[in-house]
């Protein structure tokens, strides 16, 4: 049984039982396209609401086109090709989790990290 209080304190309606588990790759090019228009946050919120609250299949191309239209983002399959190339490059570099932070000295942090770890990297002599 899902925790029905999850997200309530933050004003989120989350219904894990209605979520359609699917490959969410198709949403990522929409967020990239939305970013170019200054709409990345709105597009991301729309995708999350569709997935977690509305039980929509965000792996379905027709659903994705409708969600993009809701936000005012043109659906462009070319973005998916570019994104896949970037994901392939990241995998070749050994990236296995997000977020990924790469610092000027080449140091990288992948996955969830504590503030102490960030502070350690930022204060290291090689970061200067």
Kindly state the DSSP code that residue 60 receives in the 8-state scheme.
Answer: S
Q: Please give the Cα distance from 43 to 70 (Å, whole number).
A: 9
pLDDT tens per residue, range 47-64: 988 998 899 999 999 999
Distance CA 86, CA 66 (A): 25
Tens digit of each residue's pLDDT (9 = 90 or more) over 88-128: 887 887 787 778 888 888 888 888 889 999 999 999 877 55
How far apart are the C-alpha atoms of 87 and 80, rounded to whole Å? Answer: 10
What is the dihedral sign for C-alpha 80, 64, 39, 47? Answer: negative
What's the predicted TM-score (pTM) here?
Answer: 0.65
Length of the chain counted residue by residue: 128
Mean pLDDT (the chain, rounded)? 84
Is residue 11 within 8 A of residue 17, CB to CB? The reply is no
| pLDDT higher than threshold 60 for residue 9 | yes
Q: Are 85 and 106 in contact (CB under 8 A)?
A: no
């Amino acid at each position: 049984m899902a925790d029905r209080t999850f997200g309530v304190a933050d004003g989120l309606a989350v219904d894990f039982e209605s979520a359609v588990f699917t490959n969410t790759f198709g949403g990522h090019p929409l967020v990239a396209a939305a970013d170019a228009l200054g709409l990345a946050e709105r597009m991301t919120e729309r995708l999350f609401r569709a997935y977690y609250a509305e039980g929509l299949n965000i792996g379905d191309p027709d659903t994705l086109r409708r969600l993009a239209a809701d936000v005012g983002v043109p659906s462009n399959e070319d973005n998916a090709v570019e994104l896949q190339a970037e994901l392939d490059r990241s995998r070749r570099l050994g990236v296995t989790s997000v977020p990924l932070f790469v610092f000027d000295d080449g140091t990288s942090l992948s996955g969830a990290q504590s503030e102490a770890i960030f502070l350690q990297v930022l204060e290291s002599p090689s970061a200067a």
